[in-house]
Amino acid sequence: MTTENNENILQAPFRVGGITITIVGVGLIGGSFALVSKQKSIAKHVIGVCNREETKQKVLALGLVDEVLPLEEAIKKSDLIYVAIPVDATVPVMQKIMHLVNNQQIVVDAGSTKFVLCDALKNHPMRKRFVATHPMWGTEYSGPEAAVATAFAGRACVICEKDKSDGAAVKMVENIYTNLGMHLVYMEAVAHDTHAAYVSHISHITSFALANTVLEKEKEEDAIFELAGGGFESTVRLAKSNPAMWAPIFMQNRENVLDVLNEHISQLRKFKSALEKENIDYLNELMENANKIKRIIK
């Protein structure tokens, strides 16, 4: 492990040369974190942990990491381990990582669900070295080639169960995300998963469903391409997201997703009823109520 001590990192986390970071899962989020960390001189050396040989070659060719190593070797050389893999794989991988780290290392995850992971690690003897985070940034693209150096800036990062992590570890992670241009939000894991279902997970389900609706009703692909305006394109954009990532998120946060999905279906039924009954006043009322979102989202 390359760090002299945790206090030195806290005093100058962005000193010339930076720290050694291992990225477990060098895809959209992990790859972008690697790029920006190097750009901001947070990392002096970035190690990638990848399962597939093709991915190993790709992340090296793209310059996302400086070397690719097996997990145990990577951890031995690292100050910070950043885990950005599908949530259904996160718990067993994180449990293995937590068995390998020492009291000077920090483990951070970037998963879109928090309760299952935090609950699985709550009694681990090294729990204080883990900081649970969710950077609220992403695109519909996936894989190492989707990584961008402009990620994270201006977006929120949720830090969960701050009180269960070592104060020095939290401070360092806060410094890193702030240096990346993010603003910080603090929540308990249960609250995070509830709010994420409302503002993120339902958006993806709606987009997938809308894409399926159009593909089912409109059999002419040329017509979709030629006639789809900006509204449709922006609404259905998320339907291009990777199912391998999103199916586990939906299942892991199933109860919250079902709750918001039931409400969404109820709202759709109101629009359907207004149209069936040719009730333009009710239709206007529904849309005017929806316009209130302008107070929150500019």
Separation of alpha carbons 127 and 104, rounded Å: 13
Same domain, 96 and 159: yes
Global confidence as pTM: 0.89
Domain interval for residue 17: 6-187
Same domain, 120 and 175: yes
In this structure, are strands 106-109 and 67-68 parallel, antiparallel, or unpaired?
A: unpaired
Same domain, 21 and 76: yes
Same domain, 181 and 266: no
Decide if 1 is inside a domain. Answer: no
Give the chain's radius of gyration (CA, Å): 21
Residues 91-112: b if buried by 16+ CB within 10 A, e if exposed: bebbeebbeebeebbbbbbbbb
Same domain, 280 and 246: yes
- Domain end among 160, 187, 214: 187
The domain that holds 234 is classified in CATH as 1.10.3660.10
Looking at the DSSP bridge assignments, the partners of residue 48 are 23, 68
Same domain, 125 and 10: yes
- Domain end among 171, 187, 203: 187
Question: Which pLDDT value is given to residue 4?
Answer: 41
Asked if 24 contacts 84 with a C-beta cutoff of 8 angstroms, the reply is yes
Same domain, 80 and 175: yes
Asked if 106 contacts 169 with a C-beta cutoff of 8 angstroms, the reply is yes
Question: Which pLDDT value is given to residue 223?
Answer: 76
Question: Which pLDDT value is given to residue 3?
Answer: 43
Decide if 160 is inside a domain. Answer: yes
Same domain, 62 and 177: yes
- Domain end among 154, 187, 220: 187
Count of domains observed in the chain: 2
Same domain, 53 and 167: yes
Same domain, 129 and 270: no
Per-residue pLDDT of the chain (298 residues; tens, 9 = 90+): 444 444 444 444 444 458 999 999 999 999 999 999 999 999 999 999 998 999 999 999 999 999 999 999 999 999 999 999 999 999 999 999 999 999 999 999 999 999 999 999 999 999 999 999 999 999 999 999 999 999 999 999 999 999 999 999 999 999 999 999 999 999 999 999 999 999 999 999 999 999 999 888 877 777 777 777 667 888 889 999 999 999 999 999 999 999 999 999 999 999 999 999 999 999 999 999 999 999 988 7
Question: Which pLDDT value is given to residue 225?
Answer: 72
